[in-house]
Amino acid sequence: MKRNATLSSRNSNSRRHRYTKVLDNRKHPIRGLWRRGDRFLARLTVEDDAGRKIVKWVPLEAQTASQAADLTKAAVLRNKNR
Protein backbone atom coordinates (compact mmCIF):
# COMPACT_ATOMS: atom_id res chain seq x y z
CA MET A 1 0.00 0.00 0.00
CA LYS A 2 1.27 3.47 -0.82
CA ARG A 3 2.14 5.64 2.12
CA ASN A 4 0.49 8.74 0.60
CA ALA A 5 -2.82 6.92 0.24
CA THR A 6 -3.06 6.21 3.95
CA LEU A 7 -1.96 9.70 4.98
CA SER A 8 -4.47 11.49 2.80
CA SER A 9 -7.39 9.40 4.04
CA ARG A 10 -6.31 9.92 7.63
CA ASN A 11 -5.96 13.69 7.18
CA SER A 12 -9.38 14.05 5.55
CA ASN A 13 -11.11 12.55 8.60
CA SER A 14 -8.98 14.26 11.24
CA ARG A 15 -11.30 17.25 11.67
CA ARG A 16 -14.83 16.50 12.68
CA HIS A 17 -16.31 19.89 11.78
CA ARG A 18 -15.06 22.09 8.99
CA TYR A 19 -15.78 25.65 8.02
CA THR A 20 -18.21 25.67 5.10
CA LYS A 21 -19.74 28.60 3.25
CA VAL A 22 -23.44 29.16 3.83
CA LEU A 23 -25.48 29.20 0.62
CA ASP A 24 -28.70 31.08 -0.08
CA ASN A 25 -31.78 29.57 -1.74
CA ARG A 26 -30.19 30.08 -5.20
CA LYS A 27 -27.08 28.15 -4.12
CA HIS A 28 -24.92 31.29 -4.08
CA PRO A 29 -22.59 31.84 -1.12
CA ILE A 30 -23.58 34.52 1.38
CA ARG A 31 -20.64 36.88 1.82
CA GLY A 32 -18.95 36.62 5.22
CA LEU A 33 -21.21 33.85 6.54
CA TRP A 34 -19.76 30.47 7.50
CA ARG A 35 -20.96 27.36 9.28
CA ARG A 36 -18.99 25.00 11.49
CA GLY A 37 -20.92 22.02 12.75
CA ASP A 38 -24.29 23.40 13.80
CA ARG A 39 -23.08 26.96 14.55
CA PHE A 40 -23.09 29.99 12.27
CA LEU A 41 -20.11 32.35 12.22
CA ALA A 42 -19.61 35.76 10.65
CA ARG A 43 -16.17 36.64 9.31
CA LEU A 44 -15.81 40.41 9.64
CA THR A 45 -12.99 42.77 8.80
CA VAL A 46 -12.81 45.58 11.36
CA GLU A 47 -10.37 48.35 12.21
CA ASP A 48 -8.70 48.38 15.59
CA ASP A 49 -7.82 51.53 17.55
CA ALA A 50 -4.57 51.97 15.61
CA GLY A 51 -6.42 51.92 12.28
CA ARG A 52 -5.21 48.49 11.22
CA LYS A 53 -7.70 46.12 9.64
CA ILE A 54 -8.07 42.74 11.32
CA VAL A 55 -10.33 39.75 10.67
CA LYS A 56 -12.67 38.62 13.45
CA TRP A 57 -14.79 35.50 13.64
CA VAL A 58 -18.04 36.34 15.42
CA PRO A 59 -20.32 33.50 16.57
CA LEU A 60 -23.97 34.12 15.75
CA GLU A 61 -26.97 32.91 17.72
CA ALA A 62 -29.14 31.81 14.83
CA GLN A 63 -30.98 28.63 13.96
CA THR A 64 -31.40 29.15 10.21
CA ALA A 65 -29.30 30.60 7.41
CA SER A 66 -31.69 33.51 6.86
CA GLN A 67 -31.51 34.51 10.54
CA ALA A 68 -27.73 34.30 10.41
CA ALA A 69 -27.64 36.45 7.25
CA ASP A 70 -29.75 39.13 8.96
CA LEU A 71 -27.44 39.11 11.99
CA THR A 72 -24.39 39.34 9.73
CA LYS A 73 -25.82 42.39 7.95
CA ALA A 74 -26.53 44.02 11.32
CA ALA A 75 -22.99 43.31 12.52
CA VAL A 76 -21.49 44.80 9.34
CA LEU A 77 -23.58 47.96 9.69
CA ARG A 78 -22.62 48.28 13.37
CA ASN A 79 -18.91 48.02 12.52
CA LYS A 80 -19.16 50.59 9.73
CA ASN A 81 -20.72 53.11 12.09
CA ARG A 82 -17.86 52.82 14.62
pTM recorded for the entire structure? 0.67
Helix segments in the chain, DSSP class H? 3-12, 65-80
Find residue 44's DSSP bridge partners: 56
What per-residue confidence (pLDDT) applies to 57? 92
**What pLDDT score was predicted for residue 76?**
73
Give tens-digit pLDDT for 15-72: 678 999 999 899 999 989 999 998 999 998 888 889 899 999 989 999 999 889 888 8
pLDDT for 73 equals: 81
More confident residue, 80 or 66: 66
CA–CA gap between residue 28 and residue 1 (Å, rounded): 40
